[in-house]
Structure 1
Amino acid sequence: MNTIICGLQWGDEGKGKIVDYLTETADIVARGQGGNNAGHTVIANNKKYILHLVPSGILWGDKTCVIGNGVVMDPVGLCKEITTLEEQGIVVSPEKLLISDRAHVVLPYHRELDAAREAALGNNKIGTTKRGIGPTYADKANRCGLRLADMLCEKTARDLLAVRLENVNERLKKFDLPTFTVDQVLDEVRPAIERLRPHVTNTIPTLHKAWKEGKTILFEGAQGSFLDVDFGTYPFVTSSNTTAGGACTGSGLPPHAIQRVVGVCKAYTTRVGSGPMPTENQEISDYFHNKGMEFGATTGRPRRCGWLDTVLLRFAVMVNGVTDLAVTILDGLDERETLKICVAYDIDGERHEFPPANRDQWDKATAIYEEMPGWLEDTSKARSWDELPENAKAYLNRLSELVDAPIKYIGNGPGREQTIIV
């Protein structure tokens, strides 16, 4: 059974934990979009691993990991990540990690362009990680980007960079930012490209061969559905399709190769960066931050926190075709006496059960809540549905009912063993 795992909120839903849990029965774990702006935290064997580009399957000794064509790859950042993993005792060999030769490359000037764009937007900034992801995807769409296959040939890379840098430097000069020469760019990335060369291949035939042989492929989504460039809270989104469809276009496998879509959400709502968030609550944010929780795995920024928003989840379940829900960090609500669930938005006196497209409506959206009693018990030691408090089960059942999807997995702590199968 080939499975896509996708986030149903604004990222940081705990996908890494669910991917890691499901990897035990997978042969291949693949990434199909995003870049090192994503961060997956996995606790395995009492160690904490933070992954950005490398699929979580790397933590298992017998799995093949694939970085697909839809990913934008910072070669220097990837090499640093590989080095960190190897220092932690993880083997990252060319047999274990395959990288698509069609993946676009994040280059030094992309990071400068990212920072320049954020500065120009002022108070309307998107809140990007400034890692060059947006400008790299923009180059891809504008057909002026460089792919790994281009970077493997020095002459091709030089020729393409010479043309691209004319426009890039012109834009950077307007912001009084440093400009680049071809040699500067190549000198910075060449060692990383050479280190990665043994990993680079045409990953599409590899995935198709595995599919035809009946092997199990797990697609690890990055970020969340409401950062999707089409379905998210535009323009406060990323530059790729973070929803289930992105796994197919970003890997080269067709839709009929997928049998299951696992949608991951927290038992509450969080967001990093700018943009609307109708259930945001300062008291809830302070509560989690004071517990040392909810800081971005990639940026370290404190996450904005709020009550569970089923308006978002209802829509995300639809566009992803979710077959199974995974609800994480249930234990984060253990000490809350009363819980709220947003069931709809009030916009200018009208009830909305799906998120709006209009930017002005997002600014006016007010959460309509249902209240439920908390359980005030430690759920972190539960290992089955029956061991959960009755009020916790009622909360989860109401979530499932409101979004019209069955709950299959419950995360009640960071460890692999703290995953309940329903």
Structure 2
Amino acid sequence: MAAVVLVGAQWGDEGKGKITDYLAEKAEVVVRYQGGSNAGHTVMVEEQEFRLHLVPSGILYPGKLCLIGNGVVVDPAVLVKELDGLAERGVDTAALRISNRAHLILPYHKGLDVAEEERRGDARIGTTGRGIGPAYVDKTARTGIRVGDLLDWDGFREKLARNLAAANEVMEKIYGRPGYDLDAVLEEYAGYARRLKPLIADTVRLINDALREGRRVLFEGAQGTLLDLDQGTYPFVTSSYPTAGGACIGAGVGPTRIDKVLGVAKAYTTRVGAGPFPAEAKDDIGDMLRERGREYGTTTGRPRRCGWLDAVILRHAAEVNGLTGLALTKLDVLTGIEPLRICTGYRYGGEVLKDFPAALKVLEQCQPVYEELPGWQEDISNARTLADLPPACRGYIRRVEELTGVPVQIVAVGPQRKQTIILEDPF
């Protein structure tokens, strides 16, 4: 038996889709435990590219039980579109189940999200405008509407009428925007209720039953450690808990059920949106990494900011997640760059910080301390074992292990499933 949590060890976009896809083949149950349609996983199957936003990556393997956990906020419009798109491409989605405890995103959440972000002006935090934050606000305020409420239409109508009245008042009086029509929203969501009803289930029971039966369970996180509501670069964070502890809350399992935590990190660093980024390369290297690595958001298409690998971030991720291993992705993107750099600390106020600072003002003033390593010129995209990699490439991997204290268990040298070197299987 093994329960493995897969987390992003940077600002998200680390290539978790590829690693999840590899692990999902060995897992029997795949659980998405937080976030919403603001996240996305890109998975390459042969020559086909799949972009998944809410559906767990395990859906691409027939017979895998795929669960959207209670910690996810679900936009039914996005989910139905995603299911239809998968069906058109011959993917069977019959094994998907949605937690009855997961919260719904409604039209007013998206309207409030966009209006509030525009109101922030220069202080924008980079939200995707998909209603994720406002949905989590309602959840925390105990006024949210859950997926299970779709099964009680009278109750759903009553809750929606209450929330819509409050949301319309804010939209009209504070933001000067039109509100939402109750009957129109009810009609739209009645269609979603009919479509999703067969998929709604008590996923907490399904997950814990699977663990008791000794089945292999993969907990799939969205975003990354530095976007965690508590452990990230607050307030430039998401509204949920992408860290490993979030898997317990967002799936409904106790911490003693978790066996291993695998962190996914690019061989360099990227982030989307605003906020401090000490190791950002604001030169030709940053542009090169963006184009070589196709660094554009799966969900939004926004260009990602790119920079050198930041070991300060990875040490922070190792601690707060309890990482037992690392998956290092996109190592092939670094081919031909000489020399390579790794940020090993931050220079601030006359001292060098080895720990990731909590205060945003401190982080904004931090300057990266770099260590240079030799690069390699050889094409590594066909490497399938560690021995196939050039000595400088193996040295880079070893240095990542030394700086983080975490063994590298998986190395990705390209986007295809076969372009993966397995040093130690987490399952």
What is the alpha-carbon distance in structure 1 between the residues aligned to residue 166 and residue 349 of structure 2?
Answer: 45
- 8 A contact 1:285–1:304 mirrored in 2: yes
1:403 is the counterpart of 2:386:
no
Query: 1:421 is matched with which residue?
Result: 422
Q: What residue number does 2:317 align with?
A: 316
Report how far residue 274 of structure 1 moved.
Answer: 0.8
Partner of 2:186: 186
The reply on whether 1:225 has 2:225 as its aligned counterpart is yes
Query: Which consecutive residues of structure 1, in runs of 5 or more, have no partner in the other structure?
Result: none
Cα distance between partner residues in 1 of 2:112 and 2:285: 35
Deviations 1:268-318 (A, max 9, x none): 000011111001112222113444710111100110000000000000011
2:41 — aligned with what? Answer: 40
Separation (CA, whole Å) in 1 of partners of 2:309 and 2:54: 28
Determine whether 1:148 maps to 2:150: no
Alpha-carbon distance, 1:46 to partner: 2.1
Contact 1:285 1:303 (8 Å CA) reproduced: no
Q: Is the 8 A contact 1:17 1:416 kept in 2?
A: yes
Whether 2:250 is the aligned partner of 1:255: answer no
Partners in 2 of 1:338 and 1:187 — Cα distance? 59
2:393 corresponds to: 392
Q: Name 1:202's counterpart in structure 2.
A: 202
- Secondary structure of 2:207's partner? helix
Deviations 1:160-193 (A, max 9, x none): 1121122211110121222013212222222122
> Hey, what does 1:169 align to over in structure 2?
168
Deviation at residue 389 of structure 1 after TM alignment = 0.5
Cα shift readout 1:214-273 (whole Å, capped 9, x = no counterpart) = 001000110000000000000000000010011110111111111110000000000011
Q: Could you report, residue by residue, the CA deviation over 1:363-386 in whole angstroms, capped at 9, with x for unpaired residues?
A: 101100001110111111100000
Equivalents in 2 of 1:302, 1:190: separation in Å? 37
| 1:43 shift after superposition | 0.4
Q: Distance in 2 between matches of 1:272 and 1:192?
A: 31
2:226 maps to 1:238: no
Alignment check: 8 A CA contact 2:100 2:202 kept: yes
1:357 counterpart SS class: coil
Corresponding position: 1:213 with 2:222: no
- What secondary structure, in the 3-state scheme, does the structure 2 residue paired with 1:123 have? helix
Question: Secondary structure of 1:22's match?
Answer: helix
Give the drift of 1:355: 1.2
1:98-117 to 2 correspondence within 5 Å? 98-117=97-116
Is 2:67 the counterpart of 1:55?
Answer: no
> Do the aligned partners of 1:27 and 1:216 also contact (CA within 8 Å) in 2?
yes
Which residue in 1 is equivalent to 2:383?
A: 382
Which position in structure 1 is the counterpart of 2:120? 121
Q: Deviations over 1:326-347 (max 9, x none)?
A: 0000000012111110000011
Percent sequence identity is 50
Count of aligned residue pairs for this structure pair: 420
| Secondary structure class of the residue paired with 1:250 | helix
**In terms of mean alpha carbon deviation, does 177-186 or 135-144 score higher?**
177-186
Q: Which moved more, 1:351-360 or 1:126-135?
A: 351-360
Maintained 8 Å contact 1:6/1:221: yes
Q: 1:42 to 1:323 in 2, by over 3 A?
A: same
Name whichever of 149-158 and 232-241 sits farther off: 149-158
The question of whether the paired residues in 2 share the 8 Å contact of 1:311 and 1:354 is answered with yes
TM-score after normalising by structure 1: 0.98
Counterpart CA distance in 2 for 1:187 and 1:140 is 23
Residue type at the aligned position of 1:56? S
Give 1:205 deviation, angstroms: 1.1
The one-letter amino acid paired with 1:230 is D
SS at match of 1:175: coil
Conservation of the 8 A alpha-carbon contact between 2:276 and 2:360: no
Residues 96-145 of structure 1: CA deviation (Å, up to 9, x unaligned): 10100000000000000000110111111110110000000000000010
The structural deviation recorded for 1:151 is: 2.3
User: What corresponds to 1:335 in structure 2?
Assistant: 336
Distance 1:292-1:367 versus aligned 2 partners, 3 A rule: closer
Runs of 4+ in 1 over 4 A off after TM superposition: none
Instruction: Check conservation: 1:6, 1:264, Cα contact below 8 A.
Output: yes
Q: Is the 8 A contact 1:331 1:379 kept in 2?
A: yes
Contact kept in structure 1, 2:293 and 2:330, CA below 8 Å: no
1:398 alignment partner AA: R
CA distance in 2, matches of 1:6, 1:290: 25
User: How many angstroms apart in 2 are the aligned matches of 1:291 and 1:24?
Assistant: 28
Moved more, 40-49 or 381-390: 40-49
Contact 2:293 / 2:333 at 8 angstroms: preserved in 1? Answer: no
Which residue is equivalent to 1:69? 70
Q: For 2:83, what is the secondary structure of its paired residue?
A: helix
Give 2:362's aligned residue.
361
What is the TM-score with the length of structure 2 in the denominator? 0.97
Q: Distance in 2 between matches of 1:46 and 1:20?
A: 15
Q: Match of 1:137?
A: 136
Query: C-alpha separation between the residues in 2 aligned to 1:291 and 1:315?
Result: 27
